[in-house]
Every structure is written in C-alpha cells, then in structure tokens.
C-alpha cells in the first residue's frame, strides 16, 4: 500500500493537534465538494506538512476560479460546528455502502485492508472511510484556504486513473494564515529558477539533458566565490584537499555497499564492449565496468588505505569539491535544488576513537562559522537514528551501531545542542546529525550533515599504527557543510532574493558615464576598481543615465557609480545603491577602500557612512 494511503488508514497514525485539525479540514473540503459537485469520486485526504489535500475524480474539470465557492461552503460547515462522529462498520457493510455510493476508490481501499471492521467518520451530511483522528467538531477548524490543483495517479501508479488533487492549508489563527500566504507569494518572487534566468546565472537545456545545470559566467563567479570561501575556512581548520576523479569501478561501490542501497539512483554502468576473457564470468565483467561517481566515500577510503598512517597523524581530514552524478527521477528534479550533476563539498575525517568528541566540537564550530557568514543564523538539529527492525537497511552489528549512537549523542550533549531524534533516517553505515537552517522566509532546509561511521573502517579494513605499535581501526566522520554547491546556491538565491552580499555578487559595481565624453574617466574608474580586486564593468550604452541605473538595479548590482564632469574633475563617483539609496559624491579612493573592505570581510552591509578608519 502506498505511503499516503497507509497513513490515511493505518491504525498507527499519530497526528499532532495541528495535523488533526488539518485532517479534519480535508474532510470538510470533501463535504463541500460533494455538495457542489455531486457524483465526485473520492480517494484519500491526509494531512501534510503545511496543510492537507484530497484526491478525487470530479464530474467536470475545475480550476482555481472554483475555490471561493468551495471555501464559502467550508466556512458554512465550520460555523455549524458539526460533530465528528466515529464508528466501526463490518467490512461487508462498508463495501455495500460505498458501492451503492459509486465510490470505487473507497471500495478498493476496504478490499485491501485486512481488518474485519473499518473506521467511519461522519460530520454533518458527509460520511467517509477514515481511521482518524479528528477534532471534536468542525468549529475547531481554524481559517482555511485552498491553494492549488495538481494531478496524481491513483496509488502512484501511472497505469491507474489520474486524479485531481486539491491542496489547502489551515491554521489556528487568521494571522498565521496571512503570514503563510505572504510567505508563499514572496517565495514565488524569490524562486531561484526565475531569478537564475533573469540574472543570467544558469540555464538548463533539453539537448544536454534534464537535471544538468549549465552555469553562465555570472553563475560561475558565485560558485567560485562560494567554494573558495569554504576552501579557505577548511584549510584553517586543518583540512587537506584531494581529488579522486569522476568515475569508479562497480566493484568499489559493491564493496562499500552503496551498490546495494543506491543502485537505482546511479547512472547505468559503462561496460566495455568486448567478449568475456577466458575464465571470466558476467559478474566479473560487471564488477570491472565503470560508474559515474555517485559519492566520494569509497574513493576517500581508498586514498587513506594507499598510505601507512601513524596515530600521531590523526585526525586526517580529506576534503573534496567533487562532481557527482545521480540518476534522480525526472519528476523529482527541481531547478538547482534537485539535480543529476552536483558538486559536493564533501569531507571524510579519519579519527582515533578518543578524538571523536573534540573533532565533533570543531566541526560544529566550522559549520556555524560558514553558515553564519552566509547569513543563515537560525537552525535546528535532527539526530537520524536507525530503525533496527529493518535489518536490510543497516549494515554492521548492533553493538557497533549502539557505540556510534552513544558517541554522537555524547558529542551533541557536550556541545550543548538541542536536537530531535528521528528513527529510520540514519545512513546505512551509521547515525547522522543534520542541521536544518531557516532562510529569510522561515523555511527550513536540510544543509549540513555529520555522520559517524564505524562500519566502513571495518568493511575497508582501514588501519593506523597506534602508540603500542599495533594496527588499530579509525572511526570515520562523513561531513558536508553546503551539501552541494548547486543546491546551496539555490537556497541562497531565494534567501537573498538575488540581492547577494558584495562578496558574492557576480558584478559588484557598474560605472555609468552620463555622456560619451565621460567614457575615458569611466574606464579609469573601472581599472582602479579591478586593480583593487573588485568585479566591475562599464555600461557604455547610449541609453539615458536613469535607464542604466534602473537596469543595474534590476540586475541587483550592489553599487552604481555615476560619473560626469564634476566627478571626473574631482576624482569622485556619484554613488547609488541597488536599494535605491543615493549616497552622493564619494572620493574614488574612499569608495575603493570601503567597498573592498566590505567584500574582503564578507559583510552583509552595502555601505557604512563612516569610512573604514572612522574618519
């Protein structure tokens, strides 16, 4: 049974109060649709993260123009405070009822349930198949709004009927609803796919293939600035950068067990077009074929094993900005946030067991420093643990897992981090800590991750020579800060709404001559800016000055330096900010010093009235 169907009818549903209210809102929406569109066939209507949805087949096509009438009918039901009445029906009675009501999806669900009885809920004139739970009456449902339509195959099977899915939201207060709607509208304006196109950062092409982003010069400037910054900070924390290529043999990924768990997300293997050698089996040929590299771990383990290591060397910190390839389903691709070709800021740290706590503490400091520089200062921590009832999903004995979990919990506690533990979300080789950062709209993104691994060192027989002269197993800490450059850039575009801080802006300043006779001075200003390491250009078009300023603002360039007769005579620039603030005349050298410092320190301010020296 698909997950959403199982959630709707499993006896183990454990809704929070807000989810319970949203689930009830889904039933009220179905009640309204049944009244307005008789003959509708209903499928399922669960609560989801932000609200609820209901899948159905309607007697006619509907559009968002129908939403106000449905919402008005929902408000009537809410005002009537209809009680949610729960009962249990024998399955034969339920089958007879829903067949008579021409509800084939309900019939199919009942037939797939093993129970002798099924749950029924009624509110007012509406009766539905449901396990619950619900609020006591419809009057306990807060403000609601229908958001959008989508298509969904019944039970996720493209061979089954296409249903209409109506999404809605419900909140406890009108203010919460209005805040949510504002966030959604603002999110549309900040959509990184639109801004990426408008600002000339990246593109996609059917000729190249879906999920493979192509970065234009301005986008590559941002990528380079992001990666250079992380490299710089990592080196300060003792990391060594390595490079391990873009392909690897299948047998490497079989050894690491990634083949067992991620084969469906790996590109089809590349096998040599040749006959089998004498004594070679098809499995041998498969093992020696190649894969586009989907992850770095096995390559970094191979690097570590290629040399002899002493306990004095540890921790050894390998870091790599590696291009990885994952054959994500086309329907799951989404701009830069879900791609098939990605650059991961990956690291594997080989530590003695007595170094785990101190290394974890340093890692948290490193992650905080980098995220806060990017302006992501609000975050929470999720501890992903295994569900040991799923024996196929996790490798290694339970004792090793328990030790890894104990050590990771101890590290979180020692750092004073509050965290939420979630079962069933661990990597197959060890527990992990995910840092969930909030952007400017309050949306949560899973960015940084730390994973503690005792399994792969055993699996790859990794060793270092201890103080006693004997070989010992290290532990491995898998770590990513940005996750992938592409996804992190997509998050930043939306976080900043394209208004990057000076150090990340692809063009930091544009020089705008008022007339053609001011071009020589504009070129002089440009060369001074470039000599100071600032990314700048001259807008030499024949358009009017105001049009050039407006275009620069649309391109979200931090500084517009207008130059005319007065500025040329006084070695000045007339400074305007993309925020539309007019600073006025500024000595060229003061601007160079001031903007340069804001860029070097990776500040988020565009301009500070005082000069850097306070004069």
Pairing outcome for strands 214-215 and 202-203:
antiparallel
The reply to whether 284 falls in a domain is no
pLDDT of residue 6: 46
Does 465 score more than 70 pLDDT?
A: yes
Q: Averaged over 109-124, what is the pLDDT? A: 92
Whether residue 480 sits in one domain with residue 420: yes
Whether residue 530 sits in one domain with residue 563: yes
Alpha-carbon 511 to chain mean position: 37
Whether residue 252 sits in one domain with residue 115: no
Structure tokens at 527: 């060369």
Alpha-carbon 223 to chain mean position: 17
Structure tokens at 547: 């049009």
Whether residue 129 sits in one domain with residue 28: yes
Whether residue 594 sits in one domain with residue 471: no
Q: In whole numbers, what is the pLDDT of the chain averaged over residues?
A: 88
The reply to whether 611 falls in a domain is no
Whether residue 335 sits in one domain with residue 224: yes
The reply to whether 440 falls in a domain is yes
Domain boundary among 470, 496, 522: 496
- Binned at pLDDT 50, 70 and 90, residue 181 comes out as very high
Q: Averaged over 549-573, what is the pLDDT? A: 94
- Binned at pLDDT 50, 70 and 90, residue 360 comes out as confident
Does 315 score more than 50 pLDDT?
A: yes
Whether residue 575 sits in one domain with residue 447: no
SS3 436: strand
Domain boundary among 434, 464, 496: 496
pLDDT of residue 593: 94
The number of residues making up the chain comes to 615
Residues contacting residue 579 through CB under 8 Å, at least 6 positions apart: 606
Q: Nearest CA to 142 among 22, 52, 15? A: 22
The alpha-helical segments, DSSP class H, found in 11-50 are 17-36
Q: Averaged over 259-283, what is the pLDDT? A: 69
Query: Is residue 525 within 8 Å of 514, Cβ to Cβ?
Result: no
Does 397 score more than 60 pLDDT?
A: yes
What is the DSSP secondary-structure string of 453-492? Answer: ESHHHHHTT--EE-TTSSEEPPEEEEEEEEEEHHHHHHHH
CA distances from residue 420 to 270, 423, 436 in whole angstroms, order as listed: 42, 10, 11
- Binned at pLDDT 50, 70 and 90, residue 13 comes out as low
Domain that holds residue 158: 3-187
Whether residue 354 sits in one domain with residue 488: yes
Structure tokens at 440: 């400017």
Q: Nearest CA to 253 among 294, 311, 281, 222? A: 294
Does 473 score more than 80 pLDDT?
A: yes
CATH classification at residue 309:
3.30.930.10
Sign of the CA dihedral with 490 first, then 494, 498, and 499 last = negative
Does 193 score more than 70 pLDDT?
A: yes
Residues contacting residue 463 through CB under 8 Å, at least 6 positions apart: 309, 471, 472, 473, 474
Q: Is the peptide bond before 38 cis (omega within 30 degrees of 0)?
A: no
The reply to whether 161 falls in a domain is yes
The reply to whether 504 falls in a domain is no
Whether residue 489 sits in one domain with residue 457: yes
**Phi, psi (deg, nearest 5) at residue 296:** -95, -20
Q: How many domains does the chain have?
A: 3
Structure tokens at 209: 């293939």
Structure tokens at 105: 């999806």
Distance between CA atoms of 502 and 510, rounded to whole angstroms?
13
Domain boundary among 162, 187, 212: 187
CATH classification at residue 554:
3.40.50.800
CA dihedral 277, 280, 282, 288 (to 10 degrees): -80
Distance between CA atoms of 480 and 50, rounded to whole angstroms?
28
Whether residue 118 sits in one domain with residue 210: no
The reply to whether 283 falls in a domain is no
Work out the end-to-end distance of the chain between its first and last CA atoms, rounded to an integer number of angstroms.
Answer: 71
The reply to whether 194 falls in a domain is no
Whether residue 260 sits in one domain with residue 161: no
Reported as a single tens digit per residue, the pLDDT across 321-358 is 988 888 888 778 889 988 988 898 889 999 998 898 88
DSSP secondary structure letter of residue 266? S
Residues carrying an active site annotation: 297, 326, 344, 346, 348, 432, 478
SS3 141: coil
pTM, full prediction: 0.81
The reply to whether 51 falls in a domain is yes
Whether residue 153 sits in one domain with residue 264: no
């Amino acid at each position: 049974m698909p997950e959403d169907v199982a959630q709707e009818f499993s006896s183990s549903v454990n809704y929070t109060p807000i989810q319970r209210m949203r689930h009830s809102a889904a039933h009220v929406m179905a009640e309204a649709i049944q009244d307005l569109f008789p003959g509708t066939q209903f499928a399922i209507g669960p609560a989801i993260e932000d609200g609820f949805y209901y899948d159905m087949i309607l007697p006619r096509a509907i559009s968002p123009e129908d939403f106000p009438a449905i919402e008005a009918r929902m408000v009537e039901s809410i005002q009537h405070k209809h009680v949610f009445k729960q009962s249990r029906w024998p399955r034969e009675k339920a089958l007879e009822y829903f067949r008579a009501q021409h509800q084939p999806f309900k019939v199919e669900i009942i037939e797939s349930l093993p129970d002798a009885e099924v749950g029924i809920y009624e509110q007012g004139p509406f009766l539905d198949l449901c396990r619950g739970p619900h609020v006591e009456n419809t009057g306990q449902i807060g403000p609601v709004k229908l958001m959008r339509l989508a298509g969904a195959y019944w039970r996720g099977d493209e061979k089954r009927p296409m249903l209409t899915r109506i999404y809605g939201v419900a909140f406890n207060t009108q203010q919460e609803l209005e805040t949510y709607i504002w966030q959604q509208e603002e999110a549309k304006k900040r959509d990184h796919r639109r801004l990426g196109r408008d600002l000339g950062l990246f593109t996609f092409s059917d000729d190249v293939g879906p999920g493979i982003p192509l970065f234009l010069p301005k986008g590559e400037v941002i990528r380079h600035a992001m990666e250079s910054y992380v490299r710089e900070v990592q080196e300060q924390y003792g990391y060594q950068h390595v490079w391990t290529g873009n392909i690897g043999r299948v047998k490497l990924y079989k050894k690491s067990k990634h083949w067992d768990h991620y084969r469906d997300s790996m590109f089809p293997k590349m096998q040599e077009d040749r006959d089998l050698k004498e004594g070679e089996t098809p499995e041998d040929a498969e093992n020696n074929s190649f894969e586009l590299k989907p992850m770095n771990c096995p390559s970094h383990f191979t690097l570590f094993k290629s040399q002899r290591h002493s306990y004095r060397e540890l921790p050894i910190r390998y870091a790599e900005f590696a291009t990885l390839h994952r054959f994500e389903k086309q329907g799951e691709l989404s701009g830069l946030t879900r791609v098939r070709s990605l650059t991961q800021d990956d690291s594997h740290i080989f530590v003695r067991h007595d170094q785990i706590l101190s290394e974890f503490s340093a890692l948290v400091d490193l992650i905080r420093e980098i995220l806060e520089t990017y302006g992501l200062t609000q975050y929470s921590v999720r501890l992903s643990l295994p569900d040991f009832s799923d024996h196929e999903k996790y490798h290694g004995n339970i004792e090793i897992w328990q030790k890894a979990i104990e050590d990771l919990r101890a590290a979180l506690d020692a750092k004073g981090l509050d965290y939420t533990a979630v079962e069933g979300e661990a990597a197959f080789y060890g527990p992990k800590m995910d840092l969930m950062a909030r952007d400017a709209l309050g949306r949560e993104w899973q960015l940084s991750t730390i994973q503690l691994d005792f399994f792969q060192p055993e699996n790859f027989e990794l060793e270092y020579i201890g103080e006693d002269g004997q070989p010992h197993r290290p532990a491995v800490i898998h770590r990513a800060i940005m996750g992938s450059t592409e996804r992190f850039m997509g998050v930043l575009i939306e976080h900043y709404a394209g208004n990057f801080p000076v150090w990340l802006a692809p063009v930091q300043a544009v020089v705008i001559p008022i007339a053609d006779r001011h071009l020589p001075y504009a070129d002089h200003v440009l060369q001074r800016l470039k000599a100071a390491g600032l990314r700048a250009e001259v807008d030499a078009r024949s358009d009017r000055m105001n049009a050039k300023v407006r275009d620069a603002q649309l391109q979200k360039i931090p500084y517009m330096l207008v130059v005319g007769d007065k500025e040329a005579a006084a070695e000045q620039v007339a400074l305007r900010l993309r925020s539309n603030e007019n600073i006025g005349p500024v000595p060229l050298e003061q601007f160079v010093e001031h903007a340069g410092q804001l860029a070097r320190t990776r500040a988020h301010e565009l301009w500070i009235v005082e000069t850097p020296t306070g004069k």
